[in-house]
Amino acid sequence: MFLKRIIVAALLLSSTIGFSQRKDLPTDFLSKEFHKERREALRAKMPKNSVAVFFANAVRNRANDVDYVYHQDPNFYYLTGYREPNAVILIFSEEQKSDKGNYSELFYVQKRNAMAEMWNGYRLGVKGVQKTLGIQNAFNGEDFVNLSIDFSKFDKIIFTDFKNDVRDNKRDRADLYDLIAQFKQKVGYKSSSDKIPASDKNIKVATNIDTKAIRGIMATLREVKTKEELKLLKKAVRISAMGQIEVMKAMHPNMSETEVQGVHEFVYKKYGAEYEGYPSIVGGGNNGCILHYTENSKTKLDKDLVLMDLGAEYRGYTADVTRTIPANGKFSKEQRAIYDLVYKAQEAGIKEYIIGGRISKPGQTARKIINEGLVKLGIIKSVNERHLYFPHGTSHHIGLDVHDPGNYTIFKENMVLSMEPGIYIPEGSKCDKKWWGIAVRIEDDILVTKNGPVNLSADAPRTADAIEKMMAKKSVLDDLVLPNIDD
Query: Interface with Mn ion by CB under 5 A: which residues?
Result: 309, 320, 418, 420, 443
Residue 416's nearest CA partner among 317, 276, 308, 291 is: 317
CA 113 to chain centre: 29
Question: With contact defined as beta carbons under 8 Å apart, do 301 and 257 qualify?
Answer: yes
Question: Does 71 participate in catalysis according to the annotation?
Answer: no
Question: With contact defined as beta carbons under 8 Å apart, do 400 and 313 qualify?
Answer: no
Q: Give me the sign of the Cα torsion angle 283, 285, 288, 289.
A: negative
Question: Does 161 participate in catalysis according to the annotation?
Answer: no
Q: Looking at 276, 320, 352, 404, which residue is catalytic?
A: 320
Question: With contact defined as beta carbons under 8 Å apart, do 122 and 22 qualify?
Answer: yes
Say which entry of Mn ion, ligand GLY, none residue 72 contacts (CB below 5 to 8 A, set by partner kind).
Answer: none
Question: Does 257 participate in catalysis according to the annotation?
Answer: no
Question: Does 304 participate in catalysis according to the annotation?
Answer: no
Question: With contact defined as beta carbons under 8 Å apart, do 397 and 404 qualify?
Answer: yes
Say which entry of Mn ion, ligand GLY, none residue 278 contacts (CB below 5 to 8 A, set by partner kind).
Answer: ligand GLY
Shortest Cβ 281–ligand GLY spacing (Å): 6
Q: Looking at 228, 403, 459, 468, which residue is catalytic?
A: 403
Of 257 and 420, CB closest to Mn ion: 420
Q: Looking at 441, 444, 445, 462, which residue is catalytic?
A: 441
Shortest Cβ 279–Mn ion spacing (Å): 11
Of 175 and 309, CB closest to ligand GLY: 309
Q: Looking at 222, 238, 336, 396, which residue is catalytic?
A: 396
Within 8 A by CB and 6+ apart from 310, the residues are 240, 243, 244, 261, 264, 265, 276, 280, 281, 282, 321, 322
Shortest Cβ 201–ligand GLY spacing (Å): 45
Report the relative pairing of strands 103-109 and 88-96 from DSSP bridges.
Answer: antiparallel
Shortest Cβ 365–Mn ion spacing (Å): 17
Amino acid symbol at 480: L
Say which entry of ligand GLY, Mn ion, none residue 352 contacts (CB below 5 to 8 A, set by partner kind).
Answer: none
Question: Does 420 participate in catalysis according to the annotation?
Answer: yes
Question: Does 441 participate in catalysis according to the annotation?
Answer: yes
Within 8 A by CB and 6+ apart from 353, the residues are 362, 411, 417, 419, 446, 448, 452, 453
Of 73 and 309, CB closest to ligand GLY: 309
Question: Does 396 participate in catalysis according to the annotation?
Answer: yes
Say which entry of Mn ion, ligand GLY, none residue 343 contacts (CB below 5 to 8 A, set by partner kind).
Answer: none
Q: Looking at 223, 420, 444, 445, which residue is catalytic?
A: 420
Q: Which residues bind ligand GLY (CB under 6 A)?
A: 278, 309, 320, 402, 420, 443
Shortest Cβ 140–ligand GLY spacing (Å): 39
Coil, helix or strand at residue 389? coil
Of 85 and 311, CB closest to Mn ion: 311
Shortest Cβ 375–ligand GLY spacing (Å): 26
Question: Does 309 participate in catalysis according to the annotation?
Answer: yes
Where does 242-286 show beta strands of DSSP type E? 275-276, 281-284
Say which entry of Mn ion, ligand GLY, none residue 345 contacts (CB below 5 to 8 A, set by partner kind).
Answer: none
Question: Does 413 participate in catalysis according to the annotation?
Answer: no
CA distance 470 to 241: 13
Catalytically annotated residues: 65, 292, 309, 320, 392, 396, 403, 420, 424, 441, 443
